[in-house]
Chain A
Amino acid sequence: MFIYTLHHLLENSAEKHPQSIAFRYLSEQISYQELNEKSDQIAHQLRLLNIKKGDRVGIYMPRCLHTVISVYGILKAGAAYVPLDPFSPISRTAFVVNDCNLEVVLTTKKQTKKIEKIALESPVLKSIVGIEESSTLQNVSWESVFKLSTDNFESENVLDDDIAYILYTSGSTGTPKGIVHTHRSGLQFVKLTTSLYNISNTDVIAMHAPLHFDPSTLGIFSAIYAGSTTVIVSDAETKMPKSLATLISDKKITIWFSVPLALIQLLRNGLVTKENGDSLRWVLFSGEVFITKYLKEVMQIWTQAKFSNIYGPTELNQCTYYNLETPPVNNDPIPIGYVWDNSEFKIIDANDKEVASGNIGELVVRSSTMMKGYWNNKQLTQKSFFIQEVVPGIPQVFYRTGDQVKLNDKGELLYLGRNDRQVKIRGYRIEIDEVENTINNHPNVVEAAVIVVQTNNENSLVAFVVAQNKSNLNSSELISFSKKHLPIYAVPNEVIILDDFPRTSSGKISRKQLKSTLISD
């Protein structure tokens, strides 16, 4: 069959090897055939709820098999899926529901109370699939969805240029922004990863990332294309190192993909062992820099596996890779490597001119895996693109990564940091401005400044706040306020209340001086 949408991947593989296991989660599993049938039933249900081609549908659940059935069901209905982080504050989730106009959300019974609260702030929300009773919302149970007939069911006429999914990430204005990917950009990622890592139907892929985090697309889509099995790592397993180590050996994982921190936690507890890494063929990592000394240690134990440093903002899916077969010889940071196939890059200066070879500049990338733009934000979309015209009216579009890079003498790209105020904490992307703007919204805050501090090679946030006179504002009040509006990884570790900020001669807050007060303590 001619494959040009993401759900074609499943339809094709279900025909070729219906009985193979597509996904495992704890002791549950689902075959390709069953996944194909159940996702048809979801698509059918979505049509009954009046979902049409081009609509968006939310997925609000912790990791489980229902997440992936829902992804394919939504795509087959011609809609785009929007993952909602089940552990995000209600107000932030409600913002996303309103921002991309989700009339239907798929969820699980345990989320009933939370979804009712979201609905209070989201008048657009009409129906919920997956809960059994609600006094306020129209609802359909999973049981009744999986009784629907799918005779004569046909997928929508979806083109590869249509929207497949929207992933929300930290935005500097104080509200999240939606990164829009099409079936084409998703499918190109699938084809490139499958060929780069030679994924086949004998592979077992560990999906450590949650659905709202873009590395999940390897387990959801590339694995299905290759006919392999994806193991969905449970939320509980991600938190208990020994359980995670056991999963790697018991499930005979051949391709591991996570943020470096997950592996570092195993390493620190002595849980990276020859035995548990026995079946590993590839260890892929992305999201932040893997400190070389730890990477070396892991590679010295899991000697039979190849390692790949994957780089790429969600806007590009993946775009560069650096593969290692033997541990690095010294402790220098490892390169982000080379752009992959069907992609090109430039390194530009502040005036958008290409820098001389070997000089530092911003990385801009043109790739088949690039997003369409930001949802409902034309201005930001335009700002994020670097456009070069072949002739007037025929543009070539590059994405401005905001990352500072340079080429070394081997022609490999080296990552040197950000040129703005974006940071990574535990692999999650955070705009410092979003954190500051959120705290500034507290009625008793005059001004806030957030800085990044490094302890044990890990980033954390400290907020300095000047409060209104006599407001008695304290730091625990501001921490709980932040928890109400920000995802947990973006909540400052510490809030320090000051009478006033140290300032530079031009009157700006001196972040340098703030930072030095912490170090001298």
Chain B
Amino acid sequence: MIGNDIVDLQFAKKQSDWRRKGWLQKIFTTIEQEYIVSSKDPNLTVWKLWSMKEAVYKAHQRYLRLSPKFNPKDFECMLGGKVNVGGYRYSTNSEITQQYIYTVVKPSRNGYYSSVCNKDINVYHALERCICQGLKIIAPISIQKDANRIPAIYIDNKESNILVSLTHHGAYSAFMFSIENEISIT
């Protein structure tokens, strides 16, 4: 199952005061709070763990077809990138730059393609272009969301088996997609 989440670090700084009383306790388990306070860069650790929780939330909701919930504490993050929730375990990978933290949930069997875009780029167009080129599709492609707001790719108006996940925050957007078989994109 796939999922992704991006945190614009400048934007997060403006929007959220994680040092506010009670804030960390509402989101993070006692162990995660330990990771945060004992890390060299607590701010970065807060947002890294948060993006892991958000990315896995998307994958997990999709996998079990769950309705929306705000339960960040149920997603228990480990420093190596694994996240446990309700008896399931997901593997994540986080890319950390000066500007953003971008986490993807790695599909267990399939390959995937993932890309970060600036906000001036239309992420939907970038995604469509990437799928067309990568999978050599010439039919019209569209992205539609279901009742749980999970996006799906339609090729020639038929739902495809391409899994897609999108994320936006501040100045950045990102997308990832995966299909049943291994894919290679140049």
Q: Is B a genuine binding partner of A?
A: no
A contact set with B: CB distance below 8 Å: none
Interface residues of B (CB under 8 A from A): none
